[in-house]
Chain A
Amino acid sequence: MSHYEAPIREPLVLGDKSYHDITEDIAKPIEGAANKNWYIAFYISLAAMLWGFGCIFYTVGTGIGVWGLNKNIGWAWDITNFVWWVGIGHAGTLISAVLLLFRQKWRMAINRSAEAMTIFAVFQAGLFPIIHMGRPWNGYWVLPMPNQFGSLWVNFNSPLLWDVFAISTYLSVSLVFWWTGLLPDFAMIRDRAVKPFQKKIYALLSFGWSGRAKDWQRFEEVSLVLAGLATPLVLSVHTIVSMDFATSINPGWHSTIFPPYFVAGAIFSGFAMVQTLLGIMRKVTNLEDYITRMHIEYMNIVIILTGGIVAVAYATEFFIAWYTGSPYENYTYLSVGAATGPYAWAFWSLIIFNIITPQLLWIKKFRRSFIITFIISIAINIGMWFERFDIIAIVLSKGHLPSTWWRFEPTFVDVGIFVGTIGFFFVLFLLYARTFPVIAQAEVKTILKSSGEFYKKRREQGIPTKPAINVVNVAGTSDKSNKE
């Protein structure tokens, strides 16, 4: 199992860790009591979530009119938030599926949380298409179900319908993939659990994982198959989300560059969000040895790459808006008109947060700095929100007919729902951090001998290391026996 890794590569697991130490480290947040900080964070998130739910009930009970939308701007914060959350939900699959196929071992420390983030973000994203409907109680009409309404059927021409399929597929595949990876780790918790109730729950969650060789073989196979299945989804989801805009006829939306540009943007924002979350989590749950500077640096490199693609896309959009010479392109979200018009502040926020700030990551010192990475990741999150806001609100605010030019101002309900989804997201994530193994410990154990700092050093010093034996038991209870 263990492979050779060049000594020049930085270790992926720091310190002198044994398999049991890994188990202990990962199981600690689940088995121990939550600290005060966790409770403070949880209650703040819960309050935000409840406030958001209140705003949603108010919206559904009264009408979409409680938002700031108007006759000319039919979408604003709702779809901005939707696209933003879907984008955030992109890093998970990329990390777990694409990096798996490319055998990037560094993904192992972060894929669990990245996928959790994906799923929780897709939950948030999925809320918006439902609540933004004027009649959400009829929302199930977008599903192609046999029905008794007559010969009614959904409209397969509509990108919104493609969205329904894309998002639901993405959510279900991500969920299955995530859960598959969780099985050995749940089993580990199950085996360690002392409280019968806890044991029962984790037994259920681990689907009867026994740790037999056959289990491992199937696990590996399923993971590979799911990775293969999930990889196209990385591209499809945001491609289809972008088609909501690209297939329309609004100047600024109607753009063939949108699918690749949206996918890059989504990965960009997804990685930024992973950085934000892990930056906090590695500290709070004492996982500094597993989520290392190198992990952060690798993710920053992905951010530079995708951020670069996005920047090129922006430049292209800006150029095309100018190059067409069409008066209708005057006010696309990336144009001179947008840069000088009433939404100039949103335009420049996008440029500063999304293009200029990430360039700092070219500097190695910054790229490897936890605190700078954290700040930049927040900036990118903000910048990517503005990107979607600009695309939606600026374009709609300056439609084809000048008589329909209008502006958008959010109401407290718009803000409340957005804040509520952030609260909801963190409620889920905090609960996850307390109940799920946040690092795929079974996988990390597979690279301990090859990429662990201790072993690497020993190899460097020419001290022979015993091959990791009894690999099949890494998830099992016989950990202790493996301790060297």
Chain B
Amino acid sequence: MASDKKYWQSVEELKGSSIVETLSENEFVEEIPTDQFLGDKETLENSSTSRRDFLKYVGFTTAAASLAACEGPVRKSIPYVVKPDDVTLGVADWYATSMADGYDFANVLVKTREGRPIQIMPNKEANGTTSARVQAAVLSLYDEKLRLKEPTKGGEAISWADADKEVKAKLSELKEANKSVVLLTGSMASPSTDKIIEGFIAANPNAKHVVYDAVSESGAADAFMAMYGKRALPNYHLDKAKTIVSFGADFLGDFHGGLEKSYVAGRKSETGHMSYHVQVESNMSLTGANSDKRVVVKPSDQVFALLNLYNAVTGANVPSKATSVDSTVKKLASDLKKSGSKGVVLTGLNDKNAQLIALAINKALNSEIIDINNTLNIRQGNDAEVSQLISDMKSGKVAGLISYNVDPIYSLSNSSDFSEGLKKLELSVALSTENNETVNASNFVLPTPHFLESWGDAQFDSVTYGLMQPTIQPLFNTRQVQDALLNWSGDATKYYDYLKSFATTNILGGSSWNKALHNGFFTKEVVNSEANLAEVSISDAAAKLSSSAKKASGFELNLYTKTGLGDGKQANNPWLQEFPDPITRASWDNYLMMSMADARELGFSNPVKDNGAIDGDYAKVSVNGKEVVVPVMVQPGQAIGSVGLALGYGKTFGLNEEMQVGVNAYPLYTNGNNIQYGVTVEKVSGTHKFACTQVQKTIAGRHDILKVASLKQVTSNADPKHTWNKPAFVSYDHNEVEAKTIDLWDEHNREIGHHFNLSIDLTSCTGCGACVVACHAENNVPVVGKKEVRVGRDMHWLRIDRYYSSEIATREEAKAQGLSGGDLYKAIETEAENPEVTFQPMMCQHCNHAPCETVCPVAATSHGRQGQNQMAYNRCVGTRYCANNCPYRVRRFNWFNYSNNNEFDFNMNNEYGKMVLNPDVVVRSRGVMEKCSMCIQMTQATILKAKKEGRAVNTDEFETACSSACTTGAMVFGDINNKEDKVAALVEDKKAYGVLDYLQTKPNVIYQVKVKNTNEA
């Protein structure tokens, strides 16, 4: 209805009186006499505004202006106008998804807050595991520096439509000319993507798919193919194993994506089942460090030892050579035979023949441990096809290359051949999440989203099908590779629809899509694909293997991947760069690991400087005509005659300056072979500054810190208190009594409410460090950079101490050998040439009698009723007395401002990186002390949730970031006042002890004695 209402201000206006009009035209009834005071120049000149007055006005105005400017910067936070249904401010949402970045594969849960993913945790329902890298992947999402932000062609921005048009035109041109196009991807293990690629190849018959893994396990896949007719990796059920013999297979590291979960499940002294694990290796690997027995041989001898073992187990007589460890090998053979089907042999040599021998031994043992039906799909790279591709590119046989998330120019040993070939191509398209050299050299650059922004699926092994769902709106103008390929194959379907229908029809078998998506995974029945047992000539393989190993000369180089950086995909991730290597405890570096004997001979050393840091000498390493200059780290337990070097470092293109550390070892990685013979090592001038978080290598005879017992001791009936788990005793009333029975104070009643304890099983802890990164993410722990780590200022709330054994373990032994004074200390403080290794996660012990609490002058740190030692950052004035009085040295001081500071240009200094910060935990300012809080924000959230739901807290509902990240279940957190909680029984366990119990700090973190199986099979 049209309105003809008229609004008026006065009756005159309503009536339309003329005065209104007149007035409106002439607003000022009287003429304002501006001329009188401005027009008359003379008056103006004679005005009373003297210079003095003028200065007053200027002064006043300036003061007023500066006062007005004195206002804190205003940051607008805009509330939701319409609140999304699934977002409640302050309440985290968890999404189940899958990680598959080509090297790391995992079923994960992603914690999002207000639409931002802030943490990745293992999806335990799916039996998922996370490593340090998986945990840290959430930060790579926010890598503003490296992530591609928009499609470009030849460096110029281009729209998606134009890019598609041009790529399609070129593809059809190449199709008509029948010129070959290659789709080069990493391992994706994605059935739906495989289907899409099939479709793409159907649409473009000139296309071919080549899978390229920067760090290859092609040898294992080829061997499996040869023997069982299927190109995949066998799975190993190490939990059932009785004897595990590994020839350089770092299965607690990256071998087959890591088998730590099943390995640790098979090493439980309390159930009486504990596998006997022997590691035959040259580098000191995480797996070797955890083994019951470590046999140190250089790589070529590893090969002969493997062949000798084959001979000993099968009674065959394949060509080999005697090694120094033959007697041990014989013993191993008999152990294996005794274990029968419960024995297993693994090898990490990326060589088809070596893998065949290992498979043959397992076959001869009739091993149940190796699973040939349920195989792993996570390493599909094919070295032969990749090298074929490069020669084809060079010769011009390939005209088009579509690469996805690979960087061969960085990671190929013959990368110059690849770049040369790349230049000859008619079409080069790089689909990539992050910028890299290959992307830079390609014509079309099409950004793809991070896996946390993507839809997708991943078939990790034959039974576990993982689904991937976006947990955040894409940060940049990206499009998934699947959408691109669908588009280019002429399929208009969106990938989400495609995935849904694909999964529903092919995988889920009638069960709900929504449920599978909610769970993040779907488990299929084990497919008993009757393995096609091809007849392989083992003797042939052995002959080849033996003859190639016999050619070994000079130093032998064992290339490996580090727990922190892996293949180097996340090299721009500050959490991973700062993550100390579990073995060497060096961060921000890779280095040449060299045995102590070789180092002495060649004159390499790692002197400790006055500031506590370690220096190193440089070595020039040459192999196959390629040279790199790397710093040397003298590594106890490294085989004499061998050196180790980690891949994944030395990446520079597009990285933040701070992250451009280490040396690129890929040029030495010829043919994807992790063992290189004929290496020369030469000392060159220069001093390298290492950034290690631990300098002292042994435990210096202080064995009550880290207790180790043998399986025999633990399972015997002897009283642990007097044998293998001795508590501290003190003299009281002329009697030797347990220290814990004496107390200066009246004990608080700790049975009211919750009382938190954390139990850490040193047997189950492999030292993988997932907890370290989880703690970083949960607690906004700052990254401080290489220089600061070097001088001992890393901020890790949770660290994993690593101790090597010394030749003389205790003071008593040293005294028995006639040592005293400085010589005695030297004896117990110098690591053995071939030491045993122990790990000990160390964080705030939340002592009930906390030494830190009594010394703080302002009571900034005090005890909570739930057992936590609490740190009130706001109250802290930073005297550092608490840190000095902490016997565990777990308190970390903010030496500088680590956020919004260009001196520390890491994730807390840019708008994207800050999105990963946990809003429940404050970012600390400089000058305050911080430390592990036992994730009080998590325990409080749990309590509040239970309260809101009107129930008691469930059994084992409490968790901390470290305990939920712990793959092997070494860390168990809970409420000891709830007797059902797992931890309540653990703290009473006969293996339980508190570190430094002679001080009687009464920690709430309890350790379980490390058990080693020295019994043998």
Question: For the complex, is B914 an interface residue (Cβ under 8 Å from A)?
Answer: no
Cβ-neighbour of A74 out of B851, B881, B888 (below 8 A): B881
Which of B698, B701, B791, B803: most chain A Cβ within 10 A?
Answer: B791
Q: Are B879 and A133 in contact (CB under 8 A)?
A: yes
CA–CA, A468 and B865, complex, Å: 74
CA–CA, A58 and B370, complex, Å: 63
User: Given contacts A65-B793, A70-B792, A402-B702, are A248 and B895 in contact (CB under 8 A)?
Assistant: no
Question: For the complex, is A87 an interface residue (Cβ under 8 Å from B)?
Answer: no
Total residues of chain B contacting the partner, CB 8 A:
67
Q: Are B792 and A406 in contact (CB under 8 A)?
A: yes
Question: For the complex, is B699 an interface residue (Cβ under 8 Å from A)?
Answer: yes
Q: Are A160 and B881 in contact (CB under 8 A)?
A: yes
Q: Are B895 and A69 in contact (CB under 8 A)?
A: yes
A296-355 with Cβ < 8 A to chain B: 326-328, 330, 336-337, 339-342
Question: For the complex, is B801 an interface residue (Cβ under 8 Å from A)?
Answer: yes
Q: Are A399 and B887 in contact (CB under 8 A)?
A: yes
Question: For the complex, is A460 an interface residue (Cβ under 8 Å from B)?
Answer: no
Cβ-neighbour of A141 out of B791, B853, B877, B897 (below 8 A): B877
Which residues of chain A are near B877, meaning CB under 8 Å?
133-136, 138-139, 141-142
CA–CA, A272 and B858, complex, Å: 35
Q: Are A249 and B897 in contact (CB under 8 A)?
A: no
Question: For the complex, is B854 an interface residue (Cβ under 8 Å from A)?
Answer: yes
CA–CA, A385 and B842, complex, Å: 34
CA–CA, A248 and B887, complex, Å: 10
Which residues of chain A are near B887, meaning CB under 8 Å?
249-250, 399-401
Shortest beta-carbon distance, B702 to chain A, in Å? 5
Question: For the complex, is B864 an interface residue (Cβ under 8 Å from A)?
Answer: no
Shortest beta-carbon distance, A370 to chain B, in Å? 38
Question: For the complex, is A382 an interface residue (Cβ under 8 Å from B)?
Answer: no
Shortest beta-carbon distance, A388 to chain B, in Å? 14
CA–CA, A37 and B857, complex, Å: 45
Q: Are B701 and A327 in contact (CB under 8 A)?
A: yes
Q: Are B855 and A159 in contact (CB under 8 A)?
A: yes
Interface stretch among A98-106, A116-124, A147-155? A147-155
B521-535 with Cβ < 8 A to chain A: none
Shortest beta-carbon distance, B24 to chain A, in Å? 58
Q: Are B927 and A133 in contact (CB under 8 A)?
A: yes
CA–CA, A342 and B875, complex, Å: 37
Q: Are A330 and B700 in contact (CB under 8 A)?
A: yes
CA–CA, A249 and B877, complex, Å: 22
Question: For the complex, is B376 an interface residue (Cβ under 8 Å from A)?
Answer: no
Question: For the complex, is B889 an interface residue (Cβ under 8 Å from A)?
Answer: yes
Cβ-neighbour of B878 out of A72, A133, A250, A399 (below 8 A): A133
Cβ-neighbour of A340 out of B803, B821, B927 (below 8 A): B821
A45-76 with Cβ < 8 A to chain B: 62-65, 68-75
Q: Are B859 and A71 in contact (CB under 8 A)?
A: no
Q: Are B700 and A408 in contact (CB under 8 A)?
A: no
B795-833 with Cβ < 8 A to chain A: 799, 801-803, 811, 821-822, 825, 829
A17-41 with Cβ < 8 A to chain B: none
Q: Are A402 and B699 in contact (CB under 8 A)?
A: yes
Which residues of chain B are near A157, meaning CB under 8 Å?
853-855
Which residues of chain B are near A75, meaning CB under 8 Å?
880-881, 884
User: Given contacts A70-B612, A407-B612, are A164 and B857 in contact (CB under 8 A)?
Assistant: yes
CA–CA, A400 and B1003, complex, Å: 15
Which residues of chain A are near B893, meaning CB under 8 Å?
64, 69, 71, 74, 134
User: Given contacts A157-B854, A401-B888, are A72 and B608 in contact (CB under 8 A)?
Assistant: no
Which residues of chain B are near A132, meaning CB under 8 Å?
879-880
CA–CA, A155 and B928, complex, Å: 17
Provide the main secondary structure of the chain B interface: loop
Q: Are A336 and B821 in contact (CB under 8 A)?
A: yes
Which of B612, B799, B893: most chain A Cβ within 10 A?
Answer: B612
Q: Are A64 and B610 in contact (CB under 8 A)?
A: no
Question: For the complex, is B926 an interface residue (Cβ under 8 Å from A)?
Answer: yes
| Contact digits for B194-212, partner A, Cβ 8 Å, 1 yes 0 no | 0000000000000000000
Question: For the complex, is A403 an interface residue (Cβ under 8 Å from B)?
Answer: yes
Shortest beta-carbon distance, A327 to chain B, in Å? 5
Cβ-neighbour of A64 out of B609, B878, B996 (below 8 A): B878
Q: Are B857 and A401 in contact (CB under 8 A)?
A: no
| Contact digits for B689-714, partner A, Cβ 8 Å, 1 yes 0 no | 00000111011111001000000000
Total residues of chain A contacting the partner, CB 8 A:
61
Question: For the complex, is A91 an interface residue (Cβ under 8 Å from B)?
Answer: no
CA–CA, A340 and B823, complex, Å: 9
CA–CA, A212 and B662, complex, Å: 83
Which residues of chain B are near A248, meaning CB under 8 Å?
851, 855, 884-885
Q: Are A64 and B895 in contact (CB under 8 A)?
A: yes
B611's nearest neighbour on chain A, judged by CB, is A409
CA–CA, A252 and B891, complex, Å: 20
Cβ-neighbour of B842 out of A68, A326, A397, A401 (below 8 A): A401
Question: For the complex, is B91 an interface residue (Cβ under 8 Å from A)?
Answer: no
| Contact digits for A232-252, partner B, Cβ 8 Å, 1 yes 0 no | 000000000000100111100
CA–CA, A141 and B608, complex, Å: 39
Q: Are A134 and B880 in contact (CB under 8 A)?
A: yes
Cβ-neighbour of A250 out of B696, B698, B858, B884 (below 8 A): B884
B791's nearest neighbour on chain A, judged by CB, is A70
Which of A396, A400, A403: most chain B Cβ within 10 A?
Answer: A403
Which residues of chain B are near A139, meaning CB under 8 Å?
877
User: Given contacts A74-B884, A336-B821, are A401 and B801 in contact (CB under 8 A)?
Assistant: yes
Question: For the complex, is A169 an interface residue (Cβ under 8 Å from B)?
Answer: no
Shortest beta-carbon distance, A349 to chain B, in Å? 15
Shortest beta-carbon distance, A63 to chain B, in Å? 4
Cβ-neighbour of B859 out of A65, A155, A249, A399 (below 8 A): A155
Question: For the complex, is A404 an interface residue (Cβ under 8 Å from B)?
Answer: yes
User: Given contacts A336-B825, A337-B825, A401-B705, are A63 and B897 in contact (CB under 8 A)?
Assistant: yes
Which of B610, B840, B877, B928: most chain A Cβ within 10 A?
Answer: B877
Which residues of chain A are near B855, meaning CB under 8 Å?
157-160, 247-248
B795's nearest neighbour on chain A, judged by CB, is A71
Question: For the complex, is A405 an interface residue (Cβ under 8 Å from B)?
Answer: yes
Q: Are B883 and A74 in contact (CB under 8 A)?
A: yes
B925's nearest neighbour on chain A, judged by CB, is A135
A157's nearest neighbour on chain B, judged by CB, is B854
CA–CA, A295 and B521, complex, Å: 90
Question: For the complex, is B894 an interface residue (Cβ under 8 Å from A)?
Answer: yes
CA–CA, A190 and B977, complex, Å: 77
CA–CA, A342 and B821, complex, Å: 14
Question: For the complex, is A161 an interface residue (Cβ under 8 Å from B)?
Answer: yes
Question: For the complex, is B999 an interface residue (Cβ under 8 Å from A)?
Answer: yes
Q: Are B793 and A400 in contact (CB under 8 A)?
A: no
Cβ-neighbour of B608 out of A64, A142, A342, A399 (below 8 A): A342
Q: Are B889 and A401 in contact (CB under 8 A)?
A: yes
Q: Are A407 and B889 in contact (CB under 8 A)?
A: no
Q: Are A402 and B927 in contact (CB under 8 A)?
A: no
Shortest beta-carbon distance, B341 to chain A, in Å? 41
Question: For the complex, is B126 an interface residue (Cβ under 8 Å from A)?
Answer: no
Cβ-neighbour of B825 out of A70, A161, A341 (below 8 A): A341
Which residues of chain B are near A396, meaning CB under 8 Å?
884
Question: For the complex, is B876 an interface residue (Cβ under 8 Å from A)?
Answer: yes
| Contact digits for B974-1015, partner A, Cβ 8 Å, 1 yes 0 no | 000000000000000000000110110100000000000000
Q: Are B698 and A402 in contact (CB under 8 A)?
A: yes
A-B complex: 3 closest residue pairs judged by Cβ atoms: A134-B878, A134-B927, A65-B895
Measured CB to CB, the residues of B under 8 A from A are: 608-612, 694-696, 698-702, 705, 788, 791-794, 799, 801-803, 811, 821-822, 825, 829, 840, 842, 851, 853-859, 875-881, 883-885, 887-889, 891-897, 926-929, 995-996, 998-999, 1001
Ordered by A's residue number, 12 sampled pairs between the chains whose C-beta atoms are within 8 Å are A65-B793, A74-B881, A74-B893, A134-B880, A142-B877, A152-B859, A158-B856, A248-B851, A340-B822, A400-B889, A402-B700, A409-B610
In the complex, besides A134-B876, A406-B792, A409-B610, 9 extra interface pairs with C-beta distance below 8 angstroms are A63-B896, A64-B880, A65-B895, A71-B891, A154-B859, A249-B887, A339-B822, A397-B612, A401-B801
